[in-house]
Amino acid sequence: MNLDEAKQLNDSYHMNTYGRLPITFVKGKGTRLWDDTGKEYLDLLSGIGVVSVGHCHPAVVDAVKAQVEQLMHVSNLFYTEPQLKLAKKIAEVSFGDKCFFANSGAEANEGAIKLARRYARIHGKDDAYEIVTALNSFHGRTMKTLAATGQLDKQKPFEPMPPGFIHVPLNDIEALKNAVSEKTCAVMLEPIQGEGGVYPCEPQYLKDVRALCDKHDILLIFDEVQTGMGRTGHIFAYQAYGVTPDVMTLAKGIGSGLPIGVLVASDKAAAFSPGEHGSTFGGGPVVCAGALATIQVLEDENLVENSRIVGAYFKEKLENLMKTTGKITEIRGMGLMLAIELSQENSKDIVLKLLKNGIVANSIGNSTVRFLPPLCLKKAEVDQVISKLERLL
């Protein structure tokens, strides 16, 4: 299918929900993508942070193939080996004791919201239902997670929003203290705001938030849908900050492109009883086999360490570019989750020019360019990107 045919079918039959770029991709391998004309691209977006170990990694493909040939689905009324092995593996590499599997980050966050309210109820706080989140945050596109999202422009077309969410400025501990009341059941934060423009929490702020949650016996939820699975140079961003949440949500990078979300909780916070939460497809054997293989690849190929090393190299090269061009005003992020703030409102133009030059990146707002490459990115590929950026800026 060529680009014209794809556009025609999209305009005729697909809802107008995406501002698509003019490319039809047909193949992926490692850090590379190919379009319908055979043109090769270096992928610095990885499906918005999804393809963490690279496109079509053979170990993930083999695991999925083997599982598809053995068992594709039964309901969660029965045990399956891939799901339980994955839950054990996540517990081994994180603070968590218990997992619940969903199909996406939004569903994992919906589960976290329900879990926080349930935790409050069983601890005698029948009127505690509010969750405090940060302005500029992004937690999903379902109605509840949209209400949790601290970007009012995204909520406006769908008002009224479900009640129970209060938004405060990020990194302002006094504002958070003032927002917490007897009605509060949790604080929900992204350690680094991804969709909002790659804005990190300050380390002391997160330590103060942890202390505040302990003081009031309310849950601290970290949305690590984008920062999780090695993206920041640590397997989870909370480890970089030295602040452990009670609940964490994962999706994107854990499935190598398969639809999976995970709600991770400590034993104390895992308050659900049978029948209080569930999913028909969540935690199916195929996606769990793929996710298990993904974590194994992260470990076997040291991709978390590579994210830290190559991410630092990428950041250093961007800082040099900021000095030599004068066209970049700020560089934000950690590991291979980086963004540059441009001095002019032309990020969409720069992303389109990068695309024409065979590099896939992402524009946020009018002046931010975001980079979320596969974690197998090499320094030589960073040099290739910097060379193109220097010319285009």
Instruction: Give catalytic residues, as residue numbers.
Output: 138, 223, 252
Beta-bridge mates of residue 132: 166, 187
Find the radius of gyration of the CA atoms of the chain: 21
* Beta strands 337-342 and 199-200, pairing class: unpaired
Q: In what order do the strands lie in the sheet with 25-29?
A: 25-29, 32-35, 40-43, 359-360
The two three-digit tokens of residue 173, written as one number:
């501990």
3-state secondary structure (DSSP) of residue 385: helix
* Beta strands 359-360 and 40-43, pairing class: parallel
Contact (Cβ atoms closer than 8 angstroms) between residue 246 and residue 213: yes
What are the start-end ranges of the H helices in 326-393?
Answer: 347-356, 379-392
Contact (Cβ atoms closer than 8 angstroms) between residue 237 and residue 225: no
Q: Using omega within 30 degrees of 0 as the cis cutoff, is the peptide bond preceding 160 cis? A: yes
Amino acid at 39: K
Amino acid at 238: Y
* Beta strands 261-265 and 247-250, pairing class: antiparallel
Half-sphere exposure (Cβ direction) of 96: Cα atoms closer than 13 Å: 25
The two three-digit tokens of residue 274, written as one number:
């049978």
3-state secondary structure (DSSP) of residue 303: helix
Complete DSSP assignment for 69-127: HH-----TTS--HHHHHHHHHHHHHSS-SEEEEESSHHHHHHHHHHHHHHHHHHTT-TT
Distant-in-sequence, close-in-space partners of 15: CB < 8 Å, separation ≥ 6: none
Total number of residues shown for the chain: 393
